[in-house]
Structure 1
Amino acid sequence: MTYSPAHTSPVSARASALSGNSLTELLVLARAGGAIDLAVGTPGYPDISGGMIAEASGAMLAGHNQYEHPAGESLLRQRIADMLGDGADPQTEITVTAGATEALYVALIASVDPDDEVVLLSPGYEQITAAVGLVGARPRFVPLHAPDWRYDPADLAAAFTPRTRAIVLNTPSNPTGRVLSRAELEEIAKLCEHWDVTVICDEVYRDFAFDGNRHVSITDVPGLAERGIVVGSLSKSHAISGWRLGFLRADPERTAALRRVHELTTNGTAAPLQVAAGRAALTSGLAVVTREMSRRRDVAQEIFSRLGMTFSPVEGGCFLFADISLLTEGRQDCGAFVRDLLERSGVLIVPGSPFFSDPAAGAQYVRIAFNRRIETLREAERRIVGV
């Protein structure tokens, strides 16, 4: 009797369903041709602190080259707790991760089981949707409506069901630039309390809120604070994306579960870099960085509005989410527009379709990163509009 396995592929169904990063092919073309990259969020601004680099070198020379405590170097956890300023206990409520990407996966694995439902806002960061799929959960999308990218409360309420286990938020938002208001978070809190749902909030861009908009953390909102997991990172605010220093902030019970998952995934990130970041003044100069990021936002809006794009003013983050329909008049979708712009001017931006649950709904949008040197933005302007 011959046994015939039921599966026909060596690749899991979850892995087969992954589309990969939509930027990869474009980035290869752009870098080969010397294009200006306004696509990825890797910081061109701010500059990394020379002191942090010196501390990293010193930490290596001092012998911090082996495994660190899986939960994270103790001083760095204290610095993160101080930076958050919400009273988190660094011993029981802060976990250092290998970037915000690992933090997101750890949070999802620790919070949901296969076939559980997770509420997501659309458009939203495409990696969040991919992460939900990879852990075997089912996304339930709530549409955000242009031009100000707000949800309809009825749509939000309808997305919650008895199978809902979590909602994933991102504020300030990648890609839309929206900063969720306290009123919106309180509305979400009521639903999370009613359905007993965990809220996972990506607050990576918490330091970049503009024009009087204030970032409100889920830890500041009753109903979310006691059921929330904050995903954070030093990558954008401190320009150390290659150091892979992210973190999770949650109550002690959730943190214990998060740490168990974290230990079985990466078991930690680079010890000397944790030591270096722990010795740095993480809050020093952030007000200046925020002001300068706002100035870069203004320059980017000026440049791309002159080109003919339209958008709502960016409330926070480091991306401009622009409508290109006046430029294309239906003749091109965003993918063709981005390729044409790259070939014509040597400037790379991102198609908007991958950020939507229905890619067709994003055909008229593009995302532009403005966390760059002013000189880089002005060179992009020269190439695009010839000034």
Structure 2
Amino acid sequence: MTRTSQKADRFTESVIRETFRLAAQHGAINLGQGYPDFACPQELKDAACAAIAADDNQYPMTFGTPALRAAIAEKTARTYPGWAVDPDTELCVTCGATEALVAVTFALLDPGDEVVMFEPWYENYQPNAILAGATARTVRLRAPDWGFDEAELRAAFGPRTKAVFLCHPNNPTGKVYSAEELAVLAELCARWDVVLVVDSIYEHIHYLGPGGYLPPALVPGLEDRTITVNALSKTYAVTGWRVGWTVAPAPLTTAIRKVHDFLTIAAPAPMQAAGVAAMALPDSYYAGLATRYRERRDLLCEALERIGFALRRPDGSYYVLCDSAPLDPARDGTAFAKRLITEAGVSCVPAVSFWRPEHAEEGRSMVRFAFPKRTETLRAAVERLEALTPR
């Protein structure tokens, strides 16, 4: 008899990947998985092709090419004055943010440790903790503004707390944490000697204007205890290239690099060359990115509101979390999402997996739509959704 680990039995396949297969099977417009259906900047394609043509096809330095690490450090300092990153000791390039989060989890957590997470959460965080043998202590974000209760947050910390995982801007809620909320986290992390792990992959996709996004690594008290995770994927529309990185104080980076080495060895060499080109894009690129995503957000959210979904327009990321209950008396988001695929030809993600099983009722009727799509794709999806027969 084949035996599998108890750890693997404690979580299921990603519902996002399952939705992707169902959408492909039924020819649905995919607003479930968060990948763009438009081209990345030409500069990145040219750099990747040039690297391949130049036979840059072998193992690069394990924790990232010197050129990419220097480019990330320079871009970080340019974007956030006062944030100085040493590319030689404080950066590790990984195979996407997904691997970065696994490497960080294994570098930080031992069996028996506790990690604070906010729910609804990006669904990778809890399985990572389980694989490390750690226990998740959850703090709920509550609609409509997806704020947390400070007393609940304080109660989640204790002597076994080793880390906090924060998605900022948040997937799936679209929340961008305020300076006041980050200050509370800074106080608690300092008090309990805890590391803050920030998934900042949507840092440039927010709708609050200049200064609306505050990197936690710049918050007083968090400078020396923050690990920032990022990647090319979302900002540059290259989710399939799998180049991510971590920025962290040198002692933490040393541990992350060791784990990363035995997970994947190195990120793809030609894609790292393209990353150098990405870091060189002008500031106007990021301003335009936010403007274009705001237009997509407003197009989709206005239509979803008109159709009958209950929602709060996100402040960041490129997802909108909706309550389907006004359209679905059964209040079953999983069945409703499958119905959208088979009857309307549009996919979304049932959001119940973003909550713990014991809190699943809070997300039972919720679904998540992604809008990193061409406007013509979004308009076609809206037309299909409007034709859905109400029940």
1:4 is matched with none
Structure-to-structure mapping, 1:1-387, within 5 angstroms: 10-45=3-38, 47-85=39-77, 86-212=83-209, 214-284=212-282, 285-329=285-329, 331-357=330-356, 358-386=359-387
Task: Give the drift of 1:50.
Answer: 2.0
SS at structure 2 position matched to 1:204: coil
2: distance between equivalents of 1:25 and 1:259?
32
2: distance between equivalents of 1:10 and 1:31?
32
Report the CA distance shift for 1:90/1:325 in structure 2 as closer, same or farther (over 3 A).
Answer: same
2: distance between equivalents of 1:88 and 1:382?
47
Report the CA distance shift for 1:373/1:97 in structure 2 as closer, same or farther (over 3 A).
Answer: same
1: distance between equivalents of 2:206 and 2:333?
27
- Equivalenced residue count is 378
2: distance between equivalents of 1:282 and 1:360?
46
> 1:75, 1:279 within 8 Å by CA — same for their partners in 2?
no
> 1:83, 1:283 within 8 Å by CA — same for their partners in 2?
no
> 2:236, 2:278 within 8 Å by CA — same for their partners in 1?
no
**What is the root-mean-square deviation of aligned Cα atoms in Å?**
1.5
1: distance between equivalents of 2:205 and 2:163?
26
Report the CA distance shift for 1:280/1:143 in structure 2 as closer, same or farther (over 3 A).
Answer: closer
> 2:106, 2:259 within 8 Å by CA — same for their partners in 1?
yes
1: distance between equivalents of 2:34 and 2:307?
22
Structure 2 gaps of 5+ residues are 78-82
> 2:19, 2:32 within 8 Å by CA — same for their partners in 1?
no
Percent sequence identity over aligned pairs: 37
1: distance between equivalents of 2:302 and 2:50?
43
> 2:116, 2:163 within 8 Å by CA — same for their partners in 1?
yes
Task: Give the drift of 1:352.
Answer: 1.0
Give the TM-score normalised by structure 2. Answer: 0.94
> 2:75, 2:279 within 8 Å by CA — same for their partners in 1?
no
Give the TM-score normalised by structure 1. Answer: 0.95
Moved more, 10-19 or 370-379: 10-19
Encode CA deviations 1:136-162: one digit per residue, 9 max, x unaligned.
110000011111111100000000011
SS at structure 1 position matched to 2:94: strand
2:363 alignment partner AA: G
Task: Give the drift of 1:52.
Answer: 1.5
> 1:208, 1:293 within 8 Å by CA — same for their partners in 2?
yes
Task: Give the drift of 1:282.
Answer: 4.2
Task: Give the drift of 1:53.
Answer: 1.3
Task: Give the drift of 1:364.
Answer: 1.6
Task: Give the drift of 1:281.
Answer: 4.4
Report the CA distance shift for 1:296/1:282 in structure 2 as closer, same or farther (over 3 A).
Answer: farther
Task: Give the drift of 1:341.
Answer: 1.4
> 2:232, 2:238 within 8 Å by CA — same for their partners in 1?
yes
